[in-house]
Amino acid sequence: MNHWPQQLPCKVELDYLHIVAGTSASLGGAVHIVPPMAIEPAYLAREAGTFKQQLGIPLFVTGRINQPQEAELILARGQADVCGMTRALICDPLMPSKTERGQVEDVRACIACNQACIGHFHRGLAISCIQRPETGRELQYGQLTPTTTPKRILVAGGGPAGMKAAAVAAARGHQVTLYEAGPQLGGQVLLAQLLPRRSEFGGASTNLQREMALAGVEVVRNTRVDRALVERERPDLVIAATGATPYWPAFERTGELQVVDAWQVLRNEVKPGRSVLVIDWRCDWIGPGIAERLVREGHQVQLAVNGTHCGENLPLYVRDQLAGELHRLGIPITPYARLYGSDDNTVYLQHTASGEAMIFEGIDTLVLCMGHQPEDSLASELAGLVEVRRVGDCLAPRTAEEAIHDGLTVAWSL
């Protein structure tokens, strides 16, 4: 690309030039139409600067510019005159005015997950944002309404659902205290950010923590909510956001084959063997991410997915970018796979369409990526003591998008 400007005619008859990647002519090119988080932020700025220097006309640049600091740096370097920031404004429509007022830390930065923006568009749904579910629902949630009956609210769990519920409830005038059992806030976001090329997902937790701080939420870490704590604090309402745990399905298991789940791998709680089979029931990021991580660590990895193809439930551009990366790494992928059984060094799968057996021999470790089951015991423990509203995965295991929307919906109803 650095050679292109030298090939352009000296006389430029353009009013301006807009540098943007992406083409529907190929799957690999289409990924750059709305580049996902696996692609470096502001990745076209350097090339834009080359064109700017050679042509000397106003120049726009677009592509993964998701924070005002990045845009300011591009402008300061003379790489462009205008920065296009579409998803950044979907995530935080007030980003320009916050920046102008010097409130850059209050900007909710886009994490380029593509799930509720272009992902919704491709499914024929209204464009929204996993971090800001108010987007696309402005008629319902566009104007924050103060509560007329302030309550003392206790939120149990510092994942996305709990943090969103706490932030919105406090912003509406309730007195909110959030308790987190561990030392860190974030819930499963803390695990998601450990997957290859997904570290930016951690920004969802950072942004929600900032929302809580601005709303005046009191946060108590390293404290698990139980009946005794609630009896002592006597809140008017408890919002249970206690999350979920990995689901282990029943299957015929004999022998000594090492069987672990994705969380154990991400937390470095286990040492997988050399030959690994990853079984992915949900066809989302977790299975492929675990497979990629283990390959990069030197393991021999095969991936078996329940769907017709890997990443079936991911947004289009995210899925295709991921598929290309897995192919480059040489990871074999088996679709239509259902876990049936295992013995010392063999895993038995069933083809979900034909019903026939698929046998994987010479396996040292089986990694289960089979979804999650609710951790909802708190609601039962508090029965008869206080009103409890469940949100997020403790209500039904889904994604961060639904969890954050749950938090918004519950807080708005109080």
Read off the pLDDT of residues 267-315 as tens digits, 9 standing for 90 and up: 999 999 999 999 999 999 999 999 999 999 999 999 999 999 999 999 9
Q: 401, 386 in Cβ contact below 8 A?
A: no
Residue 13 — pLDDT band, cuts 50, 70, 90?
confident
Per-residue model confidence (pLDDT) at position 8 = 53
Per-residue model confidence (pLDDT) at position 1 = 45
Across 188-256, where does the E strand assignment appear?
A: 218-220, 237-240, 244-246, 252-253
DSSP helix/strand/coil, 285:
coil
Q: Which fold has domain 252-370?
A: FAD/NAD(P)-binding domain (3.50.50)
| Helices vs. strands in the chain: H and E counts, helices first | 17, 19
Q: 286, 397 in Cβ contact below 8 A?
A: no
Mean pLDDT, residues 187-194: 98
Q: What's the CA gap between 90 and 276, in Å, rounded?
A: 40
Residue type (1 letter), 65: I
Domain ranges of the chain: 4-122, 146-246+374-413, 252-370
Q: 83, 61 in Cβ contact below 8 A?
A: yes
Q: 168, 131 in Cβ contact below 8 A?
A: no
Q: 141, 133 in Cβ contact below 8 A?
A: yes
Q: What's the CA gap between 360 and 380, in Å, rounded?
A: 42
CATH superfamily of 146-246+374-413: NAD(P)-binding Rossmann-like Domain (3.40.50.720)
Mean pLDDT, residues 203-218: 98
Mean pLDDT, residues 39-55: 94
Strand partners, 198: none
Q: How many CB atoms lie within 10 A of CB 144?
A: 11
- Per-position b or e across 146-159, b if 16+ CB within 10 A of its CB: eeeeebebbbbbbb
Integer Rg of the chain from CA: 24
154, two tokens: 């206790």
Q: 61, 84 in Cβ contact below 8 A?
A: yes
Torsion angle, alpha carbons of 225, 227, 229, 233, to 10 = 110
